[in-house]
Structure 1
Amino acid sequence: MSESFTTAAVVGAGTIGLSWTALFAAHGMDVWVTDPRPDLAEAVEAALTESAPHLAQQGLPVQDIAGRVHLAADVAEAVRNADVVQENGPENVGFKRELFATLVREAPAHALLLSSSSAIPATAFTDGLEDAGRILIGHPFNPPHLVPLVEVVPGERTDEKAVARATDFYRSVGRVPVVERKEIPGFVGNRLQNALSREAVYLVEQGVVSPAELDAVVVNSLGLRWATVGPFLGAHLGGGPGGYRHMAEHIGVSMQKMWDSLGRPEQGPEQTEQLIKAVESAYGSRSYGELAQERDRKQIAVLAAVDTTSEQESRA
């Protein structure tokens, strides 16, 4: 890597911000965290304690992780010496525009200004801001200290050097950055996720399956496959020796007909309440902590298996 990132500022200490904090600190960075929440100290301590075993399983040193995390009284203090700022505030254009005006003013001129925005493109909140060339999206998937993907999405005014620096930075903390060259609401990952979620809601709404049964379908088929190959490579392999061409020419027509029958769930108040109750019936007997721990344990196992296979293939 051509540049050393030694100090990070994390603005917003919700679930995503706390996960970023642990990841950055585990990679040896000094991390300054700011959030108006009154329990910030307790939240940071709990997050570092909970994430330490996961980070250790990734081969990261976690003995001094707490000593590298500092609480800032406000945004100005948090970003004062930052090489990179990771913003994790509300999905609100006005809020982000005001916050990034502050970041541009208070952060050092060399600091990268990154947003964890889940759906709002950078161009939407950088209009009129000075020095917008160093502002762009770095959207993770929850929790970012475990899930490798970061969607790097430049705005219309983002400098190409900032894009390169952002990808370097995320690689330096063990993530897999994917640069998306066109802004679109929700970016790529969330649009794919929401497309599947819409059909999932429709199938449950129509009484085809229950929420737990639908989850079982995904976990034991698509989820299993997509943990190792994506949709296009999966389809290419699905076409046999003829590859994607065979798939498109022989099955593509029937698949396109299915597109026309994909559902649009009603999701009015009554349907929404029915769906909520169905999901709660399936999973409400277990706490959030229990479910999250099980999710993280399984994700770590999958990542470890994929990493081991990749290492074996590289040595072959």
Structure 2
Amino acid sequence: MNLPAFDDVTTIGCVGVGTIGGGWVAHFLARGYRVKAWDPSPDAEEKLRTLIDMAWPALTELGLAEGADPHAVTVHSDLAEALDGVGFVQESAPEDLTLKRELFARIEAALAPGVVVGSSTSGYSMTEMATELNDPGRFVVGHPFNPPYLIPLVEVVGGEGSDADAVTWASGWYEHIGKSVITMEREVPGFIANRLQEAMWREALHMIENGEATVEQIDLSITEGPGLRWPLQGPMLTFHLAGGPGGMAHMLDHFGPSLKSPWTRLGAPELTGELRDRVVAGIDEEAQGRSVADLIAQRDRSIIAIRRIIDQIRADEGNGGAGDEGEGPGGPPHA
């Protein structure tokens, strides 16, 4: 497969520019690329430009690439026009399998050879999305996390028809544009991080439904508890440390039997009207009058602060603890 050099890619095609797709547009613009966007919604351009305006202060604070321009995006109503001349495509259409299949076929018909397509899908496999393609080799999953312009992680995985070179290229490409990449060895429904999030989400809904915890208590249990350990050491390393000097081996040997304790209920509870209203009411109470825009701004400021601290810690470790010689909080981000 004849794939472009990363430095030769100057224009990105973004297909679907809702919350996730729009976040991708903001990220690409901040990295100095020109973006051609397509979305059939009549108000897509207005919403996209509002999202970019909201994201740009955070991106500016993190550090913009040379030539980064929030206005270097055009929104097109014709898909072929939007894909003309692009060097990479990020697809972020709604999670509708029939829609994805039909859209992929349209992308394939309009796109020049050798251009890789990454899908932002959060649940579908590339194998099941690619059924209408003549040659699915260059189509891969590039699953981001919200907001894509701030959260570094992208999970990359190909389908049964994806070319191994395209998967390798996509992983390298996402790293090239500042992302932290997990290249999965095989397709798993929901990928990795979403499956872990989903388990916690289902248990949270069970506790709310049973009156065992409030919405605010659930959030505090993470932000004031294990969430503080996770930015640098994930759940597996956390449990390794819980084993003391014996580490994970002791943890598994000592606490392994408790895995059979009926603590968690991974089956999803029925989303009744009552449960839905209790969750919404709990969020309204926790938000304390802050709008979604207010909460997004607070979230973005917090993520920037956390990322800078993580960068400083990693820089210190890389310099043997000599913090003054490492990249400071004001330096460019790793991702």
The TM-score, its normalising length taken from structure 1, stands at: 0.94
Q: Deviations over 1:49-83 (max 9, x none)?
A: 22222112222147741342122232111111111
Q: Which amino acid aligns with 1:120?
A: Y
Counterparts of 1:252 and 1:143 in 2: how far apart (Å)?
A: 36
Q: 1:261 aligns with which of 260, 263, 280?
A: 263
Larger mean Cα displacement after TM superposition, 33-42 or 294-303: 33-42
Deviations 1:104-123 (A, max 9, x none): 11111111111100101111
Name which of 46, 65, 76 aligns with 1:42.
46
Moved more, 296-305 or 265-274: 265-274
Q: After superposition, what is the alpha-carbon deviation per residue over 1:78-100, rounded to whole angstroms, capped at 9, x for unaligned?
A: 11111111011111111111111
Task: Say whether the 8 Å CA contact 2:240–2:247 is kept in structure 1.
Answer: yes
**What corresponds to 2:22 in structure 1?**
18
Tell whether 2:272 aligns with 1:272: no
The residue identity in structure 2 corresponding to 1:87 is E
Percent identity among equivalent residues? Answer: 37
Pairing partner for 1:95 from 92, 99, 108:
99
Instruction: Name the aligned partner's letter for residue 262 of structure 1.
Output: T
The 3 A distance-change label for structure 1 pair 12 and 284 is farther
**How do 1:104-253 and structure 2 match up within 5 A?**
104-253=108-257
Q: Given the superposition, is the C-alpha separation of residues 284 and 37 from structure 1 closer, same or farther in structure 2, using an over 3 Å criterion?
A: farther
**Residue 74 in structure 1 maps to residue 78 in structure 2:** yes
SS class of match (1:66):
coil
Counterparts in 2 of 1:98 and 1:128: CA distance versus 1, 3 Å? closer
d(CA) in 2 for partners of 1:64, 1:153: 29
In structure 2, the gaps of 5 or more residues are 321-335
Displaced runs of 4 or more, over 4 A: none
Q: Distance in 2 between matches of 1:284 and 1:125?
A: 41
Q: Paired residue for 1:303, among 288, 302, 307?
A: 307
Alpha-carbon distance between aligned partners in 2 of 1:107 and 1:288, rounded to the nearest angstrom: 37
Alpha-carbon distance in 1 for matches of 2:282, 2:90: 36
Question: Partners of 1:262 and 1:41 in 2: how far apart?
Answer: 44
Partner AA of 2:88 in structure 1 = V
Q: Secondary structure at the match of 2:45?
A: helix
Q: CA RMSD in A?
A: 1.8
Structure 1 match to 2:331 = none
Q: 1:222: how far off?
A: 1.5
> Which amino acid is 2:25 matched to?
T
Which structure has greater helix proportion? 1
TM (normalized to structure 2)? 0.89
Q: Secondary structure at the match of 2:225?
A: helix
Cα distance change, pair 91–192 in 1 and its aligned pair in 2 (3 A): same
The size of the alignment, in residue pairs, is: 314
